[in-house]
A = this chain, B = another copy of it.
């Protein structure tokens, strides 16, 4: 029996390619399409498809005229911890770039989440998330002025928001998180320095404190080639 008999050819080629990548270091050149096609005894189009999949998955990246091995994706646990804590626990240096911290009027959805009336003035904090200096996500946080307006006097938005909230006495309770996939808009792609054809992970979070009062509504967009999430499920 052939290895992986009955599996689509691309899947077999991708699996074997992954085994080759395992033995290479970050930044090493990936063998050429021609060489791989000869080695696996398949058509170049089959190799090209497998390489395309590995590219979207962030396992390899283009560099100049060639293709090199990338760093593995960051796999964050789905949790109530902040991005900062998550990145640190994975051995990455977290960072943020402030895009804007503005007053906006609440739309229906945000108003319902934050417990204010539609059109009420709330805060919108928008930041690019960094891991070891690399732009991996774009985060929009909506909060009420009433509860979090005072942060404006002392909070540095390039640091952890959750840490600042906790320091101001907030006790986190729970959150619901919806996970979707989308393409980046041109503006989002520009902020994250990626293309609009790269699939992104979109998380919508609604967080309440231990007393059940609303803390925030968050929309986080992560580069699909740089981030993945993991969770543990129990019966």
Contact = CB atoms under 8 A, between A and B. Distances in A.
Interface string A19-48: 100000000000000000000000000000
A178 B224 CA distance: 13
A79 B233 contact: yes
Given A3-B105, A4-B105, A80-B235, A181 B210 contact: no
Contacts of A176: 230-233
Contact of A200 (B8, B104, B179, B199): B199
Contacts of A78: 78, 179, 231, 233
A183 interface: yes
A7 interface: yes
Interface residues on A, range: 35 or more
Interface in A87-105: 100, 102-105
A200 B174 contact: no
Contacts of A56: 182-183
B185 A233 contact: no
A124 interface: yes
Work out how many copies of this chain go into the complex.
Answer: 2
Contacts of A5: 102-105
Given A80-B234, A235-B80, A178 B4 contact: no
A121 to B, nearest CB: 7
A217 B230 CA distance: 15
Contacts of A3: 105, 107, 119
A154 interface: no
Contacts of A173: 234-235
Contacts of A235: 80, 171-174, 210
Contacts of A210: 235
A112 interface: no
Contacts of A49: 185-186
15 contacts: A4-B104, A4-B105, A6-B103, A10-B185, A10-B187, A49-B185, A53-B183, A56-B182, A56-B183, A57-B180, A177-B230, A179-B231, A181-B200, A183-B199, A210-B235
